């Protein structure tokens, strides 16, 4: 069995576009909250409480999303099977965030996963390594770090 380097959660956070984008948003919101809190004297305690509550929801929700996503990817590095995949299609969403649809075979079944790259990173036909959950082969991700 091949020995695979297991990346840290922070390394995965840096190279996984969705988790990275959410983490940046959370940090920017916290900085904005600190700036607003220091810059204004709140005369309405309900407004202060609402803003603090919204900040807590954003931190918990966004931080939770980034933590769960990177831990699932890390679990695939630890327990996942590594197979070869091929980029089938490239696309962008409405905000011009690029993604690649990658086809792979596990067992005797063909699957496809979408890998959000942020910027165009692959070409159609490129070969990539895919980490597949052996218990749920439809759950897979493109190996971000070699």
Is residue 89 helix, strand or coil? Answer: strand
Q: Which domain holds residue 30?
A: 9-77
Contact 129, 143 (CB under 8 A): yes
Question: Domain boundary at 77, 92, 107, which?
Answer: 77
Residues 73 and 50 placed together within one structural domain of the fold: yes
Residues 114 and 70 placed together within one structural domain of the fold: no
Residues 26 and 72 placed together within one structural domain of the fold: yes
Residues 129 and 72 placed together within one structural domain of the fold: no
Closest CA to 95 of 16, 15, 11, 18: 18
- Is 42 inside any structural domain? yes
Per-residue pLDDT of the chain (146 residues; tens, 9 = 90+): 455 677 787 888 887 878 888 999 999 988 888 777 666 666 667 777 788 888 899 999 999 999 998 989 899 999 999 999 999 999 998 888 889 999 999 999 999 999 988 888 899 999 999 999 999 999 999 987 65
Contact 113, 142 (CB under 8 A): yes
- Is 124 inside any structural domain? yes
- Is 1 inside any structural domain? no
Question: pTM for the full model?
Answer: 0.76
Question: Domain boundary at 55, 77, 99, which?
Answer: 77
Structure tokens at 15: 């190279």
Residues 72 and 120 placed together within one structural domain of the fold: no
Residues 87 and 136 placed together within one structural domain of the fold: yes
Tally the domains of the chain. 2
DSSP character at residue 63: H
Question: Domain boundary at 59, 77, 95, which?
Answer: 77
């Amino acid at each position: 069995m091949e020995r695979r380097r297991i990346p840290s959660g922070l390394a995965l956070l840096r190279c996984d576009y969705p988790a990275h984008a959410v983490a940046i948003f959370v940090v920017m919101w916290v900085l904005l909250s600190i700036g607003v809190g220091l810059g204004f004297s709140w005369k309405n305690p309900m407004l202060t409480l609402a803003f603090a509550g919204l900040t807590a929801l954003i931190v918990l929700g966004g931080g939770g999303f980034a933590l769960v996503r990177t831990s699932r990817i890390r679990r695939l590095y630890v327990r996942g099977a590594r197979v070869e995949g091929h980029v089938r299609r490239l696309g962008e969403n409405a905000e011009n965030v690029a993604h690649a649809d990658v086809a792979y075979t596990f067992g005797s079944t063909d699957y496809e996963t979408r890998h959000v790259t942020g910027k165009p990173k692959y070409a159609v036909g490129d070969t990539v390594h895919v980490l597949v959950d052996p218990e749920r082969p439809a759950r897979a991700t493109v190996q971000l770090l070699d």
